[in-house]
Amino acid sequence: MAASRRTAPAADIKDTLWKAADKLRGSMDAAEYKHFVLGLVFLKYVSDAFEERREQIARQLTDDGITGDTAAELLDDPDAYIGEGVFYVPELARYDQVAARAKNPPGEMSIGEVIDSAMVAIEKKNPDLEGVLPKIFNRTSVDQRRLGELIDLIGRVGFRDQPKKARDLLGETYEYFLEMFAKAEGKRGGEFYTPASVVRLLVEVLEPRPRERVYDPCCGSGGMFVQAERFIESHGGRPLDISVFGQELNQNTWRLGKMNLAIHGIGANLGEEWGDTFHEDRHPDLRADVVLANPPFNISDWGGERLGMDPRWKYGVPPVGNANFAWLQHIASKLSPRGRAGIVLANGSMSSKQSGEGEIRRAMVEDDLISCLIALPPQLFRNTQIPACLWFLARDKGPSQGLNDRRGEVLFIDARDMGEMRSRTERVLTDEEIAEVAGTYHAWRGTSDDVYVDDAGFSYSASLDEIKQHDFILTPGRYVGTAVAEADTVPLADKFARLTKELQSYFAESDRLQAEVNDQLGRLDV
């Protein structure tokens, strides 16, 4: 059995660990249980990273001929770890010590007390983690037997026997668990997790570069930042090559994000604590080069009635019953002179005219702020059936640095037929599809060697005059036209299934609009 664990692929380890951990959940729901599992995965990560760094220091000391008390003192110098981006872990908080103490006989510290004290000790030695780690393991409602089994489970998996570094594999495991918990939680899971293929598409289009400032005003568990770091690393950069700024409203999600970014070695400023982006902006003076965001769709209780004169509303006061255009304008206010942004929004944002939304959209178009609109396929988001799209904003669409001059133009891409079903309810964009969409944008903008040509049924570069003729409605289907004849070879059953899904999404949007109209009518004093 031990040999099979050592040679098991990383994907198998993550899947096996998830299935085993999920069996230990008992009566606890996924929303609560994830904090126990992810907290222990984080504890394992900081311990393994600490041990790797400790072994490295020991080898250096041996090579330098340093031994005895001097060597022991240097091995326990917190600066030797923190200075290299590794958290210092006190001895009794190291995972093997915690696992051993978890088997204390009756009358001594309980398993929950051992873990909570370890979390406190780590926070004391690492100020960046203050108030971040979960201290929830000693509650009376926690099944201590199951908790002990969970400690053993996470502790015995052969992370350090894999070709990858332990910390890299633990980072992937943390991400995998976030995804699986999001699926288990359903709609609530969308509060902290954006589907990986959507995040990748955003990042591939925006192409964050070294030394840029990256911002997410509703950062969830930090997935946008992790993907941005991966993009930079795949192009020869390092995680330290970007500056990360974020904000999150939910306290527990803010903590998940802090731990996720710590595991990936990303130094991030998520504010001193969680807070409401509209009312407690943690980065009021920030001007970002890249903004990545997946705000909650169509939220009505965002407190807009208290922000009527806010300076962020350059293009018009957003309706109090829907925050979509508040998010867009908040993000626009954060862009540097050459900043660019990618935002996930409900499809209604492209066409709605109620409560002044049409006028705001018109003002944004006329200011030449919008660079691209992408219509997404259905079923990418497990937490909502509302059809979604991607907005891309750019402060500078001019020909600087040899790029194509796209002032006065907007690129429309209709990707509704893309994606493949990974399950009965979940669709994902494939690597090839992400490359096709991002490549189309880069050819249009001039950031690649390819030459852009309109592709009937898929992409079209529209002038502002054309958009005006469409009354500033930005739905890509209005502009890209009909695909060439070859598209007619699509089986009728497939067409019918797609059209049925689209019709259902329109029904859902109609229900939402009707509810909002009724709500607004109810506010009238007659």
Average pLDDT over residues 157-164: 56
Judge if 191 and 176 occupy the same domain.
Answer: no
Residue 212 is encoded by which pair of tokens? Answer: 């840029």
Judge if 456 and 349 occupy the same domain.
Answer: yes
Alpha-carbon distance of 393 to 190, in angstroms, equals 23
Phi-psi region of 297 (alpha: psi -120 to 50; beta: other; left: phi over 0): beta
Residue 395 is encoded by which pair of tokens? Answer: 């402060």
Judge if 126 and 11 occupy the same domain.
Answer: yes
Q: Of 93 and 27, which is predicted with more confidence? A: 93
Residue 400: pLDDT above 70?
Answer: yes
Structural domain including 166 reads 2-181
What pLDDT is stored for residue 447 in this prediction?
95
Alpha-carbon distance of 27 to 396, in angstroms, equals 53
Judge if 132 and 217 occupy the same domain.
Answer: no
Judge if 210 and 278 occupy the same domain.
Answer: yes
497 inside domain:
no
Residue 118: pLDDT above 90?
Answer: yes
Alpha-carbon distance of 446 to 403, in angstroms, equals 5
High-pLDDT (> 90) share of the chain, % = 56
Judge if 243 and 158 occupy the same domain.
Answer: no
Instruction: Give the residue from 457, 472, 489 where a domain finishes.
Output: 489
Residue 130: pLDDT above 80?
Answer: yes
Alpha-carbon distance of 388 to 285, in angstroms, equals 30
494 inside domain:
no
Residue 335: pLDDT above 90?
Answer: yes
Average pLDDT over residues 281-287: 97
Report the candidate in 365, 323, 332 with the shortest Cα–Cα distance to residue 516: 323
Judge if 228 and 324 occupy the same domain.
Answer: yes
517 inside domain:
no
Judge if 221 and 165 occupy the same domain.
Answer: no
Average pLDDT over residues 444-470: 97
Q: Of 357 and 15, which is predicted with more confidence? A: 357
Average pLDDT over residues 376-380: 92
Structural contact between residues 281 and 219, judged by C-beta atoms closer than 8 angstroms: no
83 inside domain:
yes
Give residue 29's identity as a one-letter amino acid code. Answer: D
Alpha-carbon distance of 99 to 114, in angstroms, equals 9
Structural contact between residues 24 and 153, judged by C-beta atoms closer than 8 angstroms: yes
Structural contact between residues 401 and 425, judged by C-beta atoms closer than 8 angstroms: no
Assign residue 11 the CATH number of its domain. 1.20.1260.30
Number of domains in the chain: 2
What pLDDT is stored for residue 458 in this prediction?
97
Average pLDDT over residues 359-367: 98
Q: What is the pTM of this model?
A: 0.81
Assign residue 352 the CATH number of its domain. 3.40.50.150
> How confident is residue 166, by pLDDT bands cut at 50, 70 and 90?
low
Residue 292 is encoded by which pair of tokens? Answer: 């990545």
What pLDDT is stored for residue 234 in this prediction?
87
- Of 13-17, 222-226, 373-377, least confident by mean pLDDT is 13-17
Element (H, E) at 478: helix 477-480
Phi-psi region of 246 (alpha: psi -120 to 50; beta: other; left: phi over 0): beta
φ, ψ of residue 444 to 5 degrees: the values are: -65, -45
Mean confidence (pLDDT) of the chain:
87
Judge if 269 and 138 occupy the same domain.
Answer: no
Instruction: Give the residue from 161, 181, 201 where a domain finishes.
Output: 181
Q: Report DSSP letters for 280-332, one per residue.
A: S-S-TT--EEEEEE-PPTT-S-S-GGG-TT-TT-TT-PPPTT--HHHHHHHHH
Instruction: Give the residue from 128, 158, 181 where a domain finishes.
Output: 181
Residue 415 is encoded by which pair of tokens? Answer: 């990707």
Judge if 31 and 15 occupy the same domain.
Answer: yes
> How confident is residue 419, by pLDDT bands cut at 50, 70 and 90?
very high
pLDDT tens digit string along 34-50?
888 889 989 988 998 89
Judge if 122 and 107 occupy the same domain.
Answer: yes
Judged by DSSP in three states, 343 sits in: strand
Report the candidate in 123, 180, 118, 178 with the shortest Cα–Cα distance to residue 151: 118
464 inside domain:
yes
282 inside domain:
yes
Q: What is the DSSP letter of 302?
A: S
Phi-psi region of 426 (alpha: psi -120 to 50; beta: other; left: phi over 0): beta
What pLDDT is stored for residue 472 in this prediction?
97
Residue 350: pLDDT above 80?
Answer: yes
Judge if 177 and 194 occupy the same domain.
Answer: no
